[in-house]
Amino acid sequence: MGRRPRDLTPDASVPDRFGAELRRWRLARGLTQRGLAGLIWHSQELVAKVEKAERWPSWYLATRCDVALRKGGLLARLWPAVERQRLAGDRRGPLSAGQAAADHAADRS
């Protein structure tokens, strides 16, 4: 039997919200972390760390999870805010033009 999942705090930060949404929809589909990882071609450890906001999700991970979980872009729409927080935290500066365009498109949908 597996360990009890760690409680998530979706209001703590954008990555926490992303992780909570990922877990919520993974469980709704009846998938384990390992099962989802197999569908998105990533490791179970990465899925677990993203759910707990211990790792930043990539655009690729967000979009692959949307497909696997049949969420129609829900996680992809959250991703730009996650990326903004990541960039602000490591002082890389403003979003690139491509990221800004993706944000704008997500905001319009």
Q: What is the pLDDT along the chain (109 residues), one digit of tens a residue?
A: 466 667 778 878 999 999 999 999 999 999 999 999 999 999 999 999 999 999 999 999 999 999 999 999 999 999 999 999 999 987 654 444 445 445 444 444 4
Q: Which domains are assigned to the chain?
A: 14-108 (1.10.260.40)
d(CA 78, CA 96): 17
pTM of the model as a whole: 0.76
* Helix 74-89 vs helix 14-28: crossing angle, to nearest 10: 150
